[in-house]
Structure 1
Amino acid sequence: MSKHISDITLFSSQTTEIESYRLADEKRITGNPLQSVQNHFESPCKQFNVGVWQSEAGSWNVSYSEYEYCDILEGSSIITDNLGHSLTVKAGEKFVIPAGFIGTWEVIEHCKKIYVMFEQQLEQP
């Protein structure tokens, strides 16, 4: 099946809705950060998503079932694994969080990122 220019998703020409939300109480550690996501693309199989996420300062528990590529556009955050090892990420940094990662995400300064997520579907026996 051949694809064409009209099949390219150009973020700047889309009017994708911005979904704002606050974290569930059971995830929150500090603060009550307002977050938003603007999902610009979802594959037909729903395993691949691309968009923009942002959050006010605060911290919360994370448990990744998906692989996520992140490109930090603004601000800074500290990502800590369940063993207590941490990584500070700031504007300009790009990285991948692997599926299976468990820990915390703390936004130090309003953070905005481009995300690319892939959630592998496990085969049913």
Structure 2
Amino acid sequence: MISFENFGDLHGLDIGAFAPKPTSIEGDQQEAAIVLWSSPDGRMETGVWECTPGRFTADRSDNAEICHLLSGRVTLHNGDGSAREIGAGEMFVLPLGWRGEWTIHEQTRKIYTMVAGGV
């Protein structure tokens, strides 16, 4: 038998206290997150993350990330100079090896799944 977890409405889920975003390069960004599930081998993790407006760097050299924005609006700046705006209700993937920057235009909450490289 396969069991499952139901976390209910993730829009209002308490994800804990906000703290300064370590990779922030613009704005006084604060972030909070909660892990909802992780695989027994630690190679996959799903959770909810929220961040205040500003800009930060991101490096997916060791894992890929699948994201679904629950609220907010961001622009992803790829390492090649291209950019894409993404809003609430949209889903996207940051593939293994992606590097770039996020601009958070308004407080943003996402569901994420991280998958370690080599899976």
Tell me the matched-pair count: 115
**Greater share of helix residues, 1 or 2?**
1
Structure 1: gaps (5+ residues): none
Q: Quick check: 2:15–2:32 contact (8 Å CA) kept in 1?
A: no
* Pairwise CA distance, 1:20: 3.2
C-alpha RMSD of matched pairs (Å): 2.1
Q: Quick check: 1:52–1:114 contact (8 Å CA) kept in 2?
A: yes
TM-score, length of structure 1 as denominator length? 0.82
TM-score, length of structure 2 as denominator length? 0.86
**Greater share of strand residues, 1 or 2?**
2
User: Percent same amino acid among aligned pairs?
Assistant: 25
* Pairwise CA distance, 1:10: 1.8
Deviation track 1:71-109 (CA, whole Å, cap 9, x = no partner) reads 111010011011211011100111111011111011001
Alignment of 1:22-101 (within 5 A): 22-24=20-22, 27-64=23-60, 65-101=62-98
Q: Which has the larger radius of gyration?
A: 1
Amino acid at match of 1:102: R
Output the CA distance in 2 between the equivalents of 1:17 and 1:111.
13
* Pairwise CA distance, 1:121: 4.9
Structure 2: gaps (5+ residues): none
